[in-house]
């Protein structure tokens, strides 16, 4: 209590956005979140409710919420009011407006984004204030969701990823006596159909505020439509609400089925698989339990996409194909995922048919590295080699189209080079296209099932995993790799972790306009907000 009180007293001295002491602010919020998680673990729900009220009413938490929504990728996308918070003055003013008293959220702005299968997914864009309010209540709700979440749920959770989900699939299916049947579950329109009544009754947060969000409606084509079910995709709190609605499925199966049933449950967001000892068991016992569980929440399984498969036939999950060949479980990138990746590269090349070679490398490298790093945790060497061949062939077509009057040898010398035993490297004097086969295939160490990012005793464990992940992300970028290690992964301004999600800026301690060099001793990695804060304070000073 004293920590939060002292934090809010200190907050009264904040003159503007750039004077906020972020290190202290994150510490105050983190301490209270740890207390919420501890009370939730002990099922002390009165204490949980009291601590949540303290958190959402504290100015420090409001500042963190505003920072969260003004740093993410959607910060420049306005809601129905057309407002974004882009200046320090707007952000500081926004902190004082986050109050539940008299709060009325505005309708969502409905847009449609393309899906991998060619369809379109509806996305609801809240206003900046509504996003910040959701982020504020998420700070108080997420510790509970993490504490009571299913052990093998991996979607939208801190410190967990798709790689952990596929590693658990490997653990469940790779042994000699592992189950041989898999139920592939697909929930029909999960986000759009969750029962509002169930959410209001069961989600441990302010019910009046939650009900207002759920019933806010959406605007499409200048018309207002009501929302009778579902939690809108696009709001900061929506993934947490979906997780809370689906948590409990794993415990239900474990409590109602014997160990000899060989039931393993793995879920990522609304995609899940369940293993079983026989097809009959999955059909007659597991599936009815899941159907009943979902029906209470207003959800149902998609009959066309939910199927029971033998492991020797194989199944797709999260972009990977899992199949057992005799005693060996083989997990590779799925054909659909690889085809979609190559189509994306081809489309970009078509758009860049008039661009310089350096521009092509600049555009394609993030796409190739991103896809390769996602699939490096499975048996992907053969797929990588095949796709490298296809990409090189596409680049050759790009190059020959640019120079229809030149010979093939001239084009090869102009665009492709050799390096040791490797040939056909698409590179210039300053840049080189990344080859998928240059990305090392590594075994992923799955996150501990019972680890909680809000439990102080697990902090060292998650720090170690973050360090390993960031070193992998920065591999090959020597300057950033060295700086991140030197700072032990922390931002020098706010002391919070620098991650791929937070992003970073490279800061010159002595500015270049004052003669500062690009030597490593004069560089720091900072969060984007901290970088702007440092420059603003130095300019004002």
Least confident of 33-37, 324-328, 367-371, 394-398: 324-328
Using the predicted structure, report yes or no on whether residue 156 has a pLDDT greater than 70: yes
Q: β-strands 505-508, 523-526: how paired?
A: antiparallel
Domain residue limits, the chain: 1-148+197-228, 152-194+237-333, 334-438, 456-539
Question: Of 534, 512, 162, 504, which is closest to residue 320 (Cα–Cα)?
Answer: 162
Name the 3-class secondary structure at 491: coil
For residue 314, name the pLDDT band (cuts at 50, 70, 90): very high
Between CA 400 and CA 393 the distance in angstroms is 11
Taking only the tens place, the pLDDT of each residue in 461-511 is: 998 888 888 877 777 677 888 888 888 888 888 888 888 878 888 888 887
Between CA 437 and CA 433 the distance in angstroms is 12
Between CA 232 and CA 400 the distance in angstroms is 47
Topology of the domain covering 152-194+237-333 = Alpha-Beta Plaits (3.30.70)
**pLDDT for the residue numbered 11:** 53
**pLDDT for the residue numbered 150:** 95
Q: Are 199 and 505 in contact (CB under 8 A)?
A: no
Question: Of 291, 98, 256, which is closest to residue 185 (Cα–Cα)?
Answer: 291
Q: Are 524 and 487 in contact (CB under 8 A)?
A: yes
Mean pLDDT of the chain: 89
Task: Give me the percent of the chain exceeding a pLDDT of 70.
Answer: 95
Question: Of 444, 464, 469, 434, which is closest to residue 375 (Cα–Cα)?
Answer: 444
Phi-psi region of 326 (alpha: psi -120 to 50; beta: other; left: phi over 0): left
471, 474, 477, 480: CA torsion to nearest 10: -80
Q: Are 518 and 507 in contact (CB under 8 A)?
A: no
CA 24 to chain centre: 26
- The pTM of this model reads 0.88
Please compute the mean of the pLDDT values over residues 219-246 and round it to a whole number.
88
Domains 152-194+237-333 and 456-539 share a fold: no
Taking only the tens place, the pLDDT of each residue in 26-83 is: 999 999 999 999 999 999 999 999 999 999 999 999 999 999 999 888 888 899 999 9
Taking only the tens place, the pLDDT of each residue in 405-457 is: 999 999 999 999 988 888 899 998 888 999 999 999 988 999 999 999 999 99
Between CA 449 and CA 451 the distance in angstroms is 6
Q: Are 153 and 247 in contact (CB under 8 A)?
A: yes
Q: Are 119 and 209 in contact (CB under 8 A)?
A: no
Between CA 415 and CA 399 the distance in angstroms is 7
DSSP string, 66-112: HHHHHHSTTTT---TT-----SHHHHHHHHHH--STT--PPPEEEEE
Taking only the tens place, the pLDDT of each residue in 501-534 is: 788 888 888 877 667 777 888 888 888 888 887 7
DSSP string, 292-323: HHHHHTT--B-TTT-EEEETTT-EEETTEEEE
**pLDDT for the residue numbered 1:** 39
Question: Of 276, 273, 267, which is closest to residue 239 (Cα–Cα)?
Answer: 267
- Name, in order, each residue with C-beta under 8 angstroms of 409's C-beta and a sequence gap of 6 or more: none
Q: Which CATH number fits domain 456-539: 1.10.3470, 1.10.30, 3.30.410, 3.40.50?
A: 1.10.30
């Amino acid at each position: 209590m004293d920590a939060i009180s002292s934090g809010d007293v200190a907050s009264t001295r904040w003159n503007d956005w750039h004077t906020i002491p972020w290190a202290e602010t994150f510490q105050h919020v983190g301490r209270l979140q740890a207390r919420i998680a501890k009370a939730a673990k002990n099922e002390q729900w009165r204490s949980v409710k009291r601590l949540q009220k303290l958190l959402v009413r504290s100015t420090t938490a409001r500042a963190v919420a505003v920072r969260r929504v003004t740093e993410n990728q959607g910060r420049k996308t306005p809601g129905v009011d057309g407002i974004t918070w882009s200046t320090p003055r707007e952000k500081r003013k926004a902190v004082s407006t986050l109050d539940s008293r008299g709060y009325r959220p505005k309708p969502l702005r409905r847009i449609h984004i393309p899906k991998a299968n060619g369809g379109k997914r509806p996305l609801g864009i809240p206003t900046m204030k509504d996003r910040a309010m959701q982020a504020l209540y998420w700070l108080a709700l997420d510790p509970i969701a993490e504490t009571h979440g299913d052990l093998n749920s991996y979607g939208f959770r801190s410190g967990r990823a798709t790689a952990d989900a596929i590693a658990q699939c490997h653990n469940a299916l790779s042994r000699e006596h592992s189950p041989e049947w898999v139920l592939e579950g697909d929930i029909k329109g999960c986000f759009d159909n969750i029962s509002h009544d169930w959410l209001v009754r069961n989600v441990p947060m302010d019910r009046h505020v939650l009900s207002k969000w759920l019933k806010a409606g959406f605007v499409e084509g200048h018309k207002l439509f009501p929302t009778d079910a579902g939690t809108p995709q696009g709001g900061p709190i929506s993934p947490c609400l979906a997780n809370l609605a689906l948590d409990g499925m794993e415990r239900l199966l474990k409590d109602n089925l014997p160990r000899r049933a060989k039931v393993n449950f793995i879920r990522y967001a609304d995609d899940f698989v369940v293993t079983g000892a026989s097809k009959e068991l999955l059909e007659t016992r597991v599936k009815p339990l899941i159907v009943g569980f979902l029906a209470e929440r207003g959800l149902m399984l998609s009959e066309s996409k939910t199927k029971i498969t033998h492991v020797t036939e194989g199944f797709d999950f999260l972009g990977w194909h899992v199949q057992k060949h005799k005693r060996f479980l083989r997990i590779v990138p799925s054909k659909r995922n690889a085809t979609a990746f190559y189509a994306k590269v081809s489309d970009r090349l078509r758009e860049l048919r008039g661009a310089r070679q350096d521009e092509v490398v600049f555009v394609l490298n993030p796409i190739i590295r991103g896809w390769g790093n996602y699939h490096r945790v499975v048996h992907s060497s053969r797929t990588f080699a095949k796709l490298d061949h296809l990409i090189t062939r596409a680049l050759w077509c790009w190059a020959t189209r640019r120079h229809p009057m030149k010979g093939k040898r001239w084009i090869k010398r102009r665009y492709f080079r050799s390096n040791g035993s490797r040939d056909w490297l698409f590179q210039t004097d300053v840049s080189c296209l990344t080859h998928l086969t240059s990305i090392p295939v590594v075994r992923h160490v799955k996150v501990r099932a019972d680890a909680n990012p809000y439990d102080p005793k697990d902090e060292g464990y998650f720090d170690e995993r973050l360090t390993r992940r960031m070193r992998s992300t920065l591999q090959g970028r020597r300057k950033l790799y060295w700086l991140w290690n030197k700072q032990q992964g922390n931002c020098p301004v706010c002391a919070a972790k620098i991650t791929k999600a937070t992003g970073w800026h490279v800061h010159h301690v002595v500015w270049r306009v004052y003669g500062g060099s690009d030597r490593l001793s004069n560089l720091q990695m900072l969060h984007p907000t901290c970088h702007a804060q440092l420059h603003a304070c130095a300019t004002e000073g």
